[in-house]
Structure 1
Amino acid sequence: MTDRHVIDTVDEYDRSVAELAAGHGPIAIDTERASGYRYSQRAYLIQVFRRGAGVYLFDAPSIGSFETIDAAFEGEEWVLHAASQDLPSLREVGIQPRRLFDTELSARLLGMPKVGLGAVVEETLGIHLAKEHSAADWSTRPLPQSWLEYAALDVELLVDVRDILEQRLVENRKTRIAREEFEAVLDEPARQPRVDPWRKLSGIHSVKGIRHLAVARELWNARDAYARETDTAPGRLVPDRSLVAVVKALPRSKEALAGLREFTGRASRSQIDRWWAAIERGLSTEDLPAARAAATDHVPPPRSWAERDPDADARLKRAKPVVASIADALDMPVENLLKPDYLRRVAWHPPQPADAAAIGRELAGYGARAWQVEATAQSIADAFVDAAQNGAPESETAS
C-alpha cells in the first residue's frame, strides 16, 4: 500500500488545485475535525477526490484559505456524506458548495436501514470500510499512515457510491425529492448561539436553588473561556459532572474546593484560582438566573396536550399515524418526510380554515419543502377533520 501524502504548503496546494481541475466529474470532499479534543470545530484535514486526478489530503491549518478550490469548481457538484456536519468547517476555510449530492441523505430517502458511511459503502459497493479512527484527535501531527488511509478511503469511494445511489433515486422516482433536500441543506442558515448555554451542563437538572444556578453559570463561563483560550474541549479540562458536584457542595474556601474528591479533570487543580473566582462571582452576583430556562417554543410538550387543549391533542393523535403511513409508503423515515416539530406546531395552532392549502402554507413557513407539503398537507387536513368529528383515537398517545 502506497503511503498517503499530506499537502501542507501553499505551492503544493496550488499544484493540486490545477491537477483537480484537469480531472472530471463531481468532487468528493470530507473533513476530519478534533471534536472531543479541541474547542473549535475547524477542519484539521480536508480530503478531496476527483476522477482523473485522485485523492488529495490537505493539512487545513497549514493551507489556511481554500478559496481557489472553491472558485475552480464553482459550477461543479460536490459529493459529501452527511453534508450538514461538514459544511460549517468547509465554509470557514472558504469552500461554499453550490451544488450538492449528499450520500447519507440519499440513503435515508431510499429507506436504507443503516446510513453511516461504512454501512452505505458496504451495501452499495460490497467493500468493508473500517471506521476505527472516526473519533481520533485529527489535530495530531504528524498524522499516522493508518489514519491517512482511513481518511483517503472516505472520499475515494464516495463518487462510486453517489452514482449507485443516484440510479436508485431515479428508479424510485425520488430525484426531485433528493434535489429539494440537497438544496435545503445548502440553504440552511447558520445555527444561532444557544440562549443560556450553561443550562446544557449534564446533571444541571439536579441542581436546586437560584444561587446554586448562578454558581453553575459562572463555572461554566469560566471553563468555556479557558477552553476557547487553549482550544481544548471543555470536558477535557473539567468534566460536567465535576462542575455539578462543585455546585452542589458549594465549598466555602479555595482549600475546600481543592479538597473536593469529585472535582476532577486535568485543569481542576492547575487552574484552581480560576474556578474559585468563578464560585465567588456566583455567590455574590446580583444578576441571578431564572429558576428555569425561558421558553423558546410556543408549543408545549405533547404529553400535556390532553389536559391543556383536548382538541389539539386529538388533531395530533389523528395526524401522526397518517403521516407515518405516508412515510411507510414512500419507504423513508417519518422524520425525513416531515419534521415532527412541524406537525406539532400545525396541530397546536392550526390555520383557519384548516384546509390543505392553508396547512401547506403553514408547513412551508416552518421550513417544509414543496414535495413534503404535497405529500402530507391534504392528509393532515383530512386527519384534522376526523379529529373534529370523532376526537382522539382511544389507543393512540401523542408524543
Structure 2
Amino acid sequence: MTSAAPTKYSREWVDGAASLKRAVAAVEKTERVYFDLEADSMHHYFAKVCLMQILADGGCYIVDPLVKLDLKPLLSALAKKPLVLHGADYDLRMLYQQYGFRPKSVFDTMIAAQLLGRSAFGLAALVKEAFGITLGKEAQKADWSRRPLPADLLDYAAQDTFYLPGLHQTLEQELDAKGRLDWHRESCAALVRATERIRETDPDMAWRVSGSAKFRPRQLVALKAMWNFRENIAREQDIPGYKILPSDVLLRFAEGVPVEGLPDQIPRLPSRLGAELRNGFLQAFEEAIQSDPKSWPKPLPPPRKPVKSPHPDLLADLKKARDQVAAGLHLDPSLLAPKAVLLSVALTGVSAPESVREAAQWMHWQENLLLEPWLQAAQRYQKPRSP
C-alpha cells in the first residue's frame, strides 16, 4: 500500500559561514534530523565525507565539508538530536573516523524494515513500497568530490532525505504495533557502538588477495611486491588501487611464477598505464622473484578445524529451534542468531544460561526470544543429576 508522495523541501547549498549558521539554527530548532551523506571511496584512496544532507526545520541543507568551514557547531548540534538514517553503518563510521562524531540516538530505517520481516529492505525497495516511486541508480557511482556538482547530483543527494520522514513514521508505527520498538532501539544502539570501533588492517594480510591462498612462497613474494607498488602509486595519486591495476592481473602474474628460473611468459599490462608505470610493475615483479628466498613470505597455515560440539546433533537442534521462532515472527533467522552465534553456543553444551549468554553476546530481545527454547532443546543432552 502506497502513501502520499513525499514533501519536496527547499534546498540550500551550505559552503559559507552564513549558510552554515542557518543550518545550525535549523538543527537546533527541530525535534529530530533526517540525515544522509555521500563519500568518495569509489574514486579516491583516502575516502572522505563529501556531502552531508540534513533535513531539519522544513528545509534540506546540503553541507559541503570540502570547503574550509568549521563544522564543530553543526556536529555539536547534530549530536544533541535523534537522527533518522537508512543503512547508517557506513555513514556513522565515516563520521566517527573523520570527525569523532557520536550521535545521541539513531533510527535506522533499514534495521526497522528487517525487524518487521521485509525481505527487501534497501532504500529503493522501501521507497517503491511506501510511495510507488522508482529511484534511479545513475548517481550511485558518482564522484561526490567533484566541484561544482551538477544540479542532477544535488537533486539526487537531497531527495534521499525527503523520503525519510514518511518511512520513519510508517516503520515506527509498525514496530510499535508489533511490540518490536524496543528491539529496534536496542539494535540501533548496538550499531552505534559497533561503528565506534576502528577496523585495523593487518599489514601481512592486506596484500593476500582472494585467490592467493594456495600460492607458493615465490609466487607470494611476486604478488606482494606488485601489490605494494600499486598501493604506493594509489596513495600518491589518491585513487583506489583497483583503478590502477585490478587484483586479478596481479594474481595472473604470480600464478605464472615457476619454482625456479624465469617464467616462460608473463601477462601483458594494459597500455593505459603508460610506459613508466608498466616498467615499475615489471621491475617490482622481477626483483621479487630474484630476491633472497629467506625474505619470501610464507603461506598462511590451513584454517584450524572447527572445534566440535560436545553433542553432534546439538547444533542442528539449536538451529531448528531458532528457525521455528523466526518463522513464527516472519523474520530472517539470522537476525535472531547468525551462524557464528549458533556455533559458539553449541560449543558450550547449553548447560547453563550464563554460559549461553556469554557465548551468544546477545541483545536483550534476542535472548528473550531464544534462551528458553535453546535450553529446552538441549535438555536431552544433559546428564541427569545424581540423587
1:76, distance to aligned residue in structure 2 (A): 1.2
The size of the alignment, in residue pairs, is 368
Q: Indicate the residue corresponding to 2:5 in structure 1.
A: none
Matched residues in 2 for 1:159 and 1:239: separation? Answer: 41
Match of 2:313 in 1: 314
Q: Distance in 1 between matches of 2:12 and 2:82?
A: 25
Q: Which residue of 1 aligns with 2:353?
A: 356
Return the alpha-carbon distance in structure 2 between the equivalents of residues 190 and 328 of structure 1: 35
Q: 1:360 to 1:247 in 2, by over 3 A?
A: same
Identify the residue that residue 344 of structure 1 maps to in structure 2: 343
Cα pair 1:212 1:248 within 8 Å, conserved: yes
1:1-399 to 2 correspondences below 5 Å: 6-22=13-29, 24-50=30-56, 52-63=57-68, 66-91=71-96, 92-188=98-194, 189-194=197-202, 196-198=204-206, 200-205=208-213, 208-250=215-257, 260-264=266-270, 266-267=272-273, 269-279=275-285, 280-281=287-288, 283-285=290-292, 286-292=294-300, 300=306, 309=308, 311-347=310-346, 349-350=347-348, 354-364=351-361, 368-386=362-380
Q: Flag the 1:185–1:18 CA change in 2: closer, same or farther, 3 A.
A: same
Quote the offset at 1:11 in angstroms.
4.1
Residues of 1 paired with 2:13 and 2:301: CA distance?
A: 46
2-side partners of 1:81 and 1:231: how far apart?
Answer: 28
The share of aligned pairs that are identical, in percent, is 26
Which letter maps to 2:249?
S
Query: What TM-score comes out, normalization by structure 1 length?
Result: 0.82
CA, structure 1 residues 266+43, in 2 after alignment: closer, same or farther (shift >3 Å)? farther
The letter of the residue matching 1:350 is T
Aligned partner of 1:379: which letter? P
What is the alpha-carbon distance in structure 1 between the residues aligned to residue 10 and residue 184 of structure 2?
Answer: 37
Superposed CA deviations along residues 196-230 of structure 1, whole A, max 9, x for unmatched, are 3335524324x531111122122222222221222
* Maintained 8 Å contact 2:117/2:330: yes
Separation in 2, partners of 1:44, 1:247: 37
Gaps of 5+ in 2: 1-7
Amino acid at match of 2:178: N
TM-score normalised per structure 2: 0.85
Q: Give, in angstroms, the shift of residue 160 of structure 1.
A: 1.9
Using the alignment, how far apart are the partners of 2:49 and 2:206 within structure 1? 25
Identify which range, 167-176 or 88-97, moves more after superposition: 88-97
| Preserved contact between residue 6 and residue 58 of structure 1 (Cα < 8 Å) | yes
Equivalents in 2 of 1:12, 1:294: separation in Å? Answer: 57
Letter aligned with residue 228 of structure 1: R
Q: Which letter does structure 2 place at the counterpart of 1:342?
A: V
Q: Deviations over 1:119-171 (max 9, x none)?
A: 11222333333233112222222222111111101112212211111111100
User: Quick one: structure 1 residues 79 and 194, their matched pair in 2 at CA, closer, same or farther if it must change by over 3 Å?
Assistant: farther
More divergent stretch after superposition (150-159 vs 88-97): 88-97
Aligned equivalents of 1:338, 1:191: Cα separation in 2: 23
Determine the C-alpha separation between the residues in 1 that align with 2:224 and 2:345.
35
Task: Write out per-residue CA displacement over residues 261-319 of structure 1, whole angstroms, 9 at most, x where no aligned residue.
Answer: 44337447442343244321464153332312575xx772xxxxxxx747454221221
SS in 2 for 1:48: strand
1:47–1:94 CA distance, 2 compared to 1 (3 A): farther
- SS at 1:31's partner residue? strand
How far the C-alpha of 1:374 sits from its partner, in A, is: 2.0
Structure 1 stretch displaced more, 94-103 or 66-75 = 66-75
Aligned residue identity for 1:197:
M
Corresponding residue SS for 2:138: coil
